[in-house]
Amino acid sequence: AITKRVTCPTGETTTNAECCVLFPILDDIQANLFDGGECGEEVHESLRLTFHDAIGFSLSQGGGGADGSIITFGSVELAFAANAGVDDIVDAQTPFVNKYNISAGDFIQFAGAVGVSNCPGAPRLEFLLGRPAATAASPAGLIPEPQDSVDSILARFADAGFSSDEVVALLASHSVAAADLVDPTIPGSPFDSTPAVFDTQFFIETQLKGTAFPGLIAISTCCRETTHPVFRTSGNVGEAESPLAGEMRLQSDGLLARDSRTACTWQSFVVDQTGMQNQFKAAMAKMAILGQNKANLIDCSDVIPVPQGVTTTPHLPANKTMDDIEQACSTSRFPTLTTDPGPATSVPPVPSS
């Protein structure tokens, strides 16, 4: 079969002329939002924003879902505790929304799909165009938080139409992610050792025994000794002990990796990059049109760049062994992985650029 293509005024080809408006936006955000095509902080935050906009949807309470309300009604939604820190990327994206003839809901999902395409190992996400302007702010309380129980997280996602397997698939996003505010003393603390690669390390490293909190506070005023005692920060809301210096583990990720409802799907991604990609892509496609009528949207997926292949292979971080894996899936063994050579290293923070 021959797929008809149109040539846009800017020279690119696509399957639908209405998608042509996206090419100038693509070039602009790659150059001026994503620092020339990196998988860095703005990509991570743009991907998170796709979720925080879309999950404002409830089968029982309403909400417009992936409608751009987090920008249009930012004065309401950015005040939700779960949106702490999201104001940065809203501020960074808003000038692009205003500059082009695109709805905030479309822009948020487009920026997320383009952004994650900069991460080696990511799937090429679907992108559909045509979300109308948001008409109301999301109800409060719909965004999961890292201190929430697994029961509450799975119930919240179910109320938005997602299965527990889809929750696990969506959390592949935490392979290209860091926390700025869970422990505000160490902004940019990644959730895995490869926050610029969309690989399976997140699913591996969350299964390692937690040994310490990554934050450090040097107490320099207590005493006159030349060596000052150093204490690790602990007790941050939503934080669990992580296996690596510099790495952040959300309490929710640690629990989902170990819960009988989610542990086997979690483990299934450890050596299945392709399965992780495919299931993440499918779940993201569903999330990106929450609250929308798919029949009214135009498929512009061919505008999204094709990501590079994964640049890592599944491994245990240096100094860790299979004995450090906390087996949680009761029906199959955690895959045997080899350990990176060398002494234990710490995970550097994601630069705020």
Of residues 38 through 67, those in contact with Ca ion by CB under 5 A are 53, 56, 67
Q: Does residue 178 belong to the site contacting ligand HEM (CB under 6 A)?
A: yes
- 193: which residues sit within 8 A by CB, 6+ positions away? 201, 205, 244, 247, 317, 347
192 marked ligand binding residue: yes
CA–CA gap between residue 66 and residue 55 (Å, rounded): 7
CA end-to-end span of the chain, whole Å?
46
Catalytic one of 44, 52, 228, 315: 52
Of residues 118 through 157, those in contact with ligand HEM by CB under 6 A are 144-146, 153
173 marked ligand binding residue: no
CA–CA gap between residue 44 and residue 53 (Å, rounded): 15
The closest residue (CB) to Mn ion is 180
CB atoms inside a 10 Å sphere around CB 320 = 21
CA–CA gap between residue 95 and residue 111 (Å, rounded): 13
Of residues 182 through 221, those in contact with Ca ion by CB under 5 A are 192, 194, 197, 199, 201
C-beta closer to Mn ion: residue 9 or 184: 184
C-beta closer to Mn ion: residue 43 or 129: 43
Q: Does residue 33 belong to the site contacting ligand HEM (CB under 6 A)?
A: no
249 forms beta bridges with 240
- Which of 53, 106, 166, 180 is close enough to bind ligand HEM by CB under 6 A? 180
Q: Can you tell me whether residue 264 is helix, strand or coil?
A: helix
Of residues 114 through 143, those in contact with Ca ion by CB under 5 A are 138
Residue 56 interacting entry, from Mn ion, ligand HEM, Ca ion, none, C-beta within 5 to 8 Å by type: Ca ion
Q: Does residue 252 belong to the site contacting ligand HEM (CB under 6 A)?
A: yes
C-beta closer to ligand HEM: residue 20 or 104: 104
Q: Does residue 347 belong to the site contacting ligand HEM (CB under 6 A)?
A: no
Active site residue 315: no
259 marked ligand binding residue: no
Q: Which stretch binds ligand HEM (CB under 6 A): 3-11, 26-34, 173-181, 311-319?
A: 173-181
Q: Can you tell me whether residue 179 is helix, strand or coil?
A: strand
228 marked ligand binding residue: no
State the minimum distance, in angstroms, from the CB of residue 112 to ligand HEM: 7
- Which of 12, 48, 117, 215 is close enough to bind ligand HEM by CB under 6 A? 48
Task: Kindly tell me the sign of the dihedral angle through the C-alpha atoms of 85, 86, 89, 95.
Answer: negative
Q: Does residue 109 belong to the site contacting Ca ion (CB under 5 A)?
A: no
Number of residues that bind ligand HEM (CB under 6 A): 26
**Single-letter amino acid, residue 203:** F
241: which 2 tokens? Answer: 């002990």
231 forms beta bridges with 217
Describe the crossing of helices 104-116 and 86-99 by its angle, rounded to 10 degrees.
110
216 forms beta bridges with 232
- Which of 114, 142, 168, 182 is close enough to bind ligand HEM by CB under 6 A? 182
Q: Can you tell me whether residue 306 is helix, strand or coil?
A: coil
CA–CA gap between residue 258 and residue 176 (Å, rounded): 21
Number of residues that bind Ca ion (CB under 5 A): 11
Residue 310 interacting entry, from Ca ion, ligand HEM, Mn ion, none, C-beta within 5 to 8 Å by type: none
DSSP string covering 58-115: BTTTB--SSSSHHHHTHHHHTTSGGGTTHHHHHHHHHHHHHHTT--HHHHHHHHHHHH
194 marked ligand binding residue: yes
CA–CA gap between residue 66 and residue 143 (Å, rounded): 13
Residues marked active site are found at 52
Q: Would you tell me which residues interact with Ca ion (CB under 5 A)? A: 53, 56, 67, 69, 138, 175, 192, 194, 197, 199, 201
> What is the binding site for ligand HEM (CB under 6 A)?
41, 44-45, 47-48, 50-51, 85, 144-146, 153, 170-171, 173-174, 176-182, 238, 250, 252
